[in-house]
Amino acid sequence: MIKRGREETSAHCRRRETGGRGERWKMPPMKKSKKGKRKSKDSGKLKVARTRSAPPPLPPELRGLDTEWWYTFLHKHAESGHVVPSDEGEAFRHFFRTSRKTFDYICSIVREDLISRPPSGLINIEGRLLSVEKQVAIAMRRLASGDSQVSVGAAFGVGQSTVSQVTWRFIESMEERARYHLAWPSQDRIEEIKATLEAVYGLPNCCGAVDATHVIMTLPAVESSEDWCDPAKNYSMFLQGIVDDEMRFIDIVTGWPGSMTFSRLMKCSGFFKLCEAGNRLNGSVKDSAENAEIREYIAGDSCYPLLPWLMTPYEGKNLSATMLHFNARQKAARLLGTNALTRLKGSWRILHKVMWRPDKNKLPSIILVCCLLHNILIDCKDELLPSVQLPEHHDTGYNEEGCEQVDPNGKAMRENITAHLQKLEASRLLCN
């Protein structure tokens, strides 16, 4: 049996039920970290050196920051024969996915935790305590590359146990202090999302897209069960993400076994419960071109049920031209979710590679922090290197699922949108 109450997480609300404003955060049990006072100021900007021989001179207010680790790390990779971008800024993005400015911002988020409560034994081979910057670099390199702890440790001159401690401490701190980077948007922001999606895809009152992916893992024999074995015969954990017009995650659910269907995962999510109760996607209603009401909704594939707030494509053969037109518009919008998951797994390869016997109680936190880092890159307007994007789908080896559930009100909503698009297209043709 699947243990529902223990496995679900939903990143937009970790607080208890409070007057309809949020849902209960159902993280698997883990050791709760102490809260510390958040540091209010950013750690500042660092200039990127154009030479690899020495760190650049720093202004007085930044001289406490450690930059030596980066040049040691970079020289080690260059000397070992690895292909490293010649531009130092690109090299930094290659290894850590962020610009140096964004990296320093991430350090500012976790600095107080990593200084005040460092894990035990964090002494490097030179006998010095690891700096915050080096700890963050170790953790982010582990998440970005998905390489083994031994391999990551060798690149930084530390042991496997140090990589394990540093990475988990970083994840705990980010989960506690960076949650504001993944939240359901305000109604003003929702209006901006709807306006953008209508302008780009022609879909009125669309608030985003949903998709899900499997995080594949190996499990010891004592933990293996059919619950975790998915349709592709992999042991995996599900991640469902809802994204906005910029492919920013605005809601996630993870922790559930990969054996579930997409539709069942959706129904087990707090997002589903909020929408069904009228507490989400309950903003302004739009009048269609034929004066029919169109409420707020998100776009999803045919693996999801057709609901008043979840629009899926028309299925079957012999579809009319208007149905095909709707499908084309709807597909373009829902691919935002697919592309977001592809970028997530491409950036943070630990989610793309097969994870070796992870702690299933800790894995949801790792997934959440990767989603937070994904959003931070978007919020900081960081551009990813082209090589980061996955060359294929985020879930290769899985067959498409279908869901036959059709809510009558959802069917009526889809017909209203289809008629609206048909009338707009007819008007456009007349004008031309």
Of 177, 204, 219, at which residue does a domain stop?
Answer: 177
Shared domain for 116 and 65, answered yes or no, is yes
Shared domain for 302 and 407, answered yes or no, is yes
Give the closest residue to 355 by CA, choosing from 94, 140, 147: 147
For the segment 7-51, what is each residue's pLDDT rounded down to a tens digit?
343 433 333 333 333 333 333 434 444 444 444 444 333 333 333
Shared domain for 241 and 288, answered yes or no, is yes
Shared domain for 118 and 235, answered yes or no, is no
Of 126, 160, 177, at which residue does a domain stop?
Answer: 177
3 state SS of 210: strand
The pLDDT of residue 23: 37
φ, ψ dihedrals at 53, nearest 5°: -75, -30
Give the percent of the chain with pLDDT over 70: 81
Q: Are strands 297-299 and 9-10 parallel, antiparallel or unpaired?
A: unpaired
Q: Would residue 13 count as lying in a domain? A: no
Q: Supply the pTM of this predicted model.
A: 0.83
Q: Would residue 337 count as lying in a domain? A: yes
The pLDDT of residue 120: 60
CA 328 to chain centre: 25
Shared domain for 46 and 191, answered yes or no, is no
CA dist 53 and 221 (Å) reads 50
Shared domain for 277 and 425, answered yes or no, is yes
Q: Judge whether 23 and 5 are in contact, CB under 8 Å.
A: no
CA dist 237 and 253 (Å) reads 11
Shared domain for 216 and 308, answered yes or no, is yes
Q: Residue type at 387?
A: S
pLDDT higher at 365 or 57: 365
The pLDDT of residue 54: 39
Shared domain for 166 and 211, answered yes or no, is no
CA dist 331 and 323 (Å) reads 12
For the segment 70-125, what is each residue's pLDDT rounded down to a tens digit?
988 988 887 777 778 888 999 999 999 999 999 999 999 999 999 876 656 555 55
CA dist 108 and 207 (Å) reads 32
Shared domain for 62 and 157, answered yes or no, is yes
For the packed helices 68-79 and 132-145, what is the interaxial angle rounded to 10 degrees?
Answer: 40
CA dist 214 and 280 (Å) reads 26
Q: Would residue 19 count as lying in a domain? A: no
Helix/strand/coil (H/E/C) assignment for every residue in 23-54 = CCCCCCCCCCCCCCCCCCCCCCCCCCCCCCCC
Shared domain for 61 and 152, answered yes or no, is yes
Shared domain for 288 and 244, answered yes or no, is yes
Of 142, 177, 212, at which residue does a domain stop?
Answer: 177
CA dist 127 and 369 (Å) reads 30
Q: Would residue 20 count as lying in a domain? A: no
Q: Would residue 353 count as lying in a domain? A: yes
Q: Is the pLDDT of residue 432 over 70?
A: no
Please give the tally of structural domains in the chain.
Answer: 2
The pLDDT of residue 43: 38
The pLDDT of residue 44: 38
Q: Would residue 17 count as lying in a domain? A: no
User: In this structure, is the dihedral angle defined by the CA atoms of residues 391, 392, 393 and 397, taken in order, positive or negative?
Assistant: negative
In order of 227, 248, 265, 347, the CA distances from 93 in angstroms are 38, 19, 34, 10
Mean pLDDT of 190-212: 97
Q: Domain span at residue 267? A: 182-431
Q: Would residue 22 count as lying in a domain? A: no
Cβ density class 135-165: b for 16+ within 10 Å, e for less: bbbbbbbbbbbbbebeebbbbbebbeebbeb
Shared domain for 186 and 173, answered yes or no, is no
Q: Would residue 387 count as lying in a domain? A: yes
